[in-house]
Amino acid sequence: MSLSTERLSSRPATSPAPGFASLMLSPARRRSLRQGLLALVLPAVVIAVWQMAGTDGSLFGGVLPTPDRAWQAWKVWAFGSTGLSLNPYSGTWLANLVFSAERVGKGFAAAILVAVPVGLAIGWNRIASGALDPTVQLLRPIPITAWLPFSIAVFGIKDLGAVFLIALGAFYPIVVNTAQGARDVERNLIRAAMMMGAGRWTVLRRVVFPASLPSIFTGLRIGLGIAWTAVIVAEMVAVKSGLGYVLWDAYYVGRMDVVIADMASIGLLGLVSDRVILLIERWALTWRRLQSFQS
């Protein structure tokens, strides 16, 4: 009964080349391997120079620890026993990381839930644009750091304040990019949909939204970067847990090795979360990838 699109698109299986040939990497694999190695050169050089410039595990008269000391500090921070250790950070890495990631997750999700519909409305509907866009543009220049006192005053030293800052910071790039995407939808696609009997709501859902997805993802990636900035700022000031809190606390008690380990953790987490978005984007926008010059 149903015309199976899967069946039609599946290709006859090509038998894999056996034995000797499988030992050799395909040109594409080799190229990506080379790219990976190339990417590691600069960080390796910087770490090596940094390491060699230090004496007795530190640089600049004890201000900056060498990478191996930071590594040691991270191991204790990550795997040390919690309990009655003299080191207050011992074994708390994962817990703090989860605190921060959870706040980013909540704030970012809230930002998406509000910014995508608002952005689509601004880009698609003239009345919504007139009613909402000026306010967004008016508030946008206020940096999230300037919202800190407001946030603490309203929400107190609580999770909600941090989540608020993160959501606010991520909101702007998502809303602006979504609106731009919705404005740029090809006129003939909208005409085609209306010609086929689609009402305004259907056009929005089935044409404007998918056509805006590339811009939406651009906004998501920028927004996520801002979300990580916001969580660190908020935790340094407005809550008592998370990577940002540890960062400031460690600095305060002169544990620069923990500070460095913390910075590296934040960077890594930001990188991983960005890759996750990128993966979702590649999956959702196959049509787009096939259109691009590179493929």
Partner 1 sequence: MATITFENVAKIYSGQNEVRALDGISLTINEGEFVALLGPSGCGKSTLLNLLAGFEKATEGTLLFDGETVTRPGPDRGVVFQEAALFPWLNVWQNVIFGPQVQGVARADYEPRARDLLKLVGLEAFAGALPVQLSGGMRQRVGIARVLAMSPRALLMDEPFGALDAQTRLSMQQLLLDVWQSLGTTVLFVTHDIDEAILLSDRICVMTARPGRIMRTIPIALPRPRSIASLTSPEFMAYKAGIMSDMKV
> Which stretches of the chain bind partner 1, using CB under 8 A?
1-3, 5-6, 8-9, 186, 188-189, 191-198, 202, 206-207, 210-211, 213, 285-288, 290-291
The DSSP string of 26-47 is: PHHHHHHHHHHHHHHHHHHHHH
CB of 210 to partner 1, least distance (A): 5
CB of 125 to partner 1, least distance (A): 17
Nearer to partner 1, 2 or 135 (CB): 2
CB of 214 to partner 1, least distance (A): 10
Nearer to partner 1, 1 or 17 (CB): 1
222: nearest Cα among 110, 111, 129? 111
CB of 184 to partner 1, least distance (A): 14
CB atoms within 10 A of CB 245: 22
Q: Give CA–CA dist 171/42, Å, rounded.
A: 34
Phi, psi torsion values for 65, nearest 5 degrees: -80, 155
Nearer to partner 1, 207 or 232 (CB): 207
| 119, two tokens | 């952005």
Asked if 106 and 114 touch (Cβ cutoff 8 Å), the reply is no
Nearer to partner 1, 198 or 222 (CB): 198
